[in-house]
Structure 1
Amino acid sequence: MPLFFVVFLICLLISLATVAALMLSRTPRYRTQAQDLLDLFDAVLDNRASEARWHTLIGYPIRHDAYLENLRRRSQHLMETHGRPWQAAQGGSLFSRSGREELAALRDHLAAHQSLQGGEYHA
């Protein structure tokens, strides 16, 4: 009988610890950063990105940074107007030539914005 109480108490402690850990933990959150967008834009311009990778990053709203959200929406519009996902599936480019030019301009604008932000923080 004492063995039963010891096992019962150990199981109860483990169960309570598990419930407490679950109650105190937060839901994980993914925050898209500027470097994530730069890496995606570089991969698309080098024909290394898939349509799935594009939609995974660009399809997720960015609520913590209005500038990045605006850039994400412009990128979404760029895919709607110049996207060629059927060619990317066959090893081609994800965008038409004019789409790649606009994406390169977006990428350069984001890189310039990041260098300015970095300069402000270090000044």
Structure 2
Amino acid sequence: MYLARFQGLPRYEPEGKRPPSPDSSGCAYSESGDETGPFAVLTFTDLSVASEMQALLAASCKYSELAPGVTKVETLARERGWQAWTATKEAGVHEAQVCTGSHIYNASLSNIPGTVPEDALETILAVIR
């Protein structure tokens, strides 16, 4: 997986299993679950399952204005018709979101030396490809 290029990110399974969800899933990599250290999270949601939450998520894919610091990824929109953005929310926290129409993917990379917002996007694209 794309995250393998970053050292010190073993897969972390939180104690106490979450109940399975038919419409979303995710995984986290960190040093013993410590969110103040290097941390990576990848989640996806199936937008074809009808629910209020999926409707809100789908609506977030159709934004017309972006918040400051958020960059729309034009190549994915042009080449595949997807909506995507990258951002740095705070020092050392890079995020990306990709909406394919049927699914929404989110990635967050925190406190991983040498990463940039595009690394969060590449994490998502590695899963989709």
- Return the index of the structure with the highest Cα Rg: 1
TM-score scaled to structure 2, two decimals? 0.22
Considering fraction of residues, name the structure with more helix: 1
Considering fraction of residues, name the structure with more strand: 2
TM-score scaled to structure 1, two decimals? 0.23
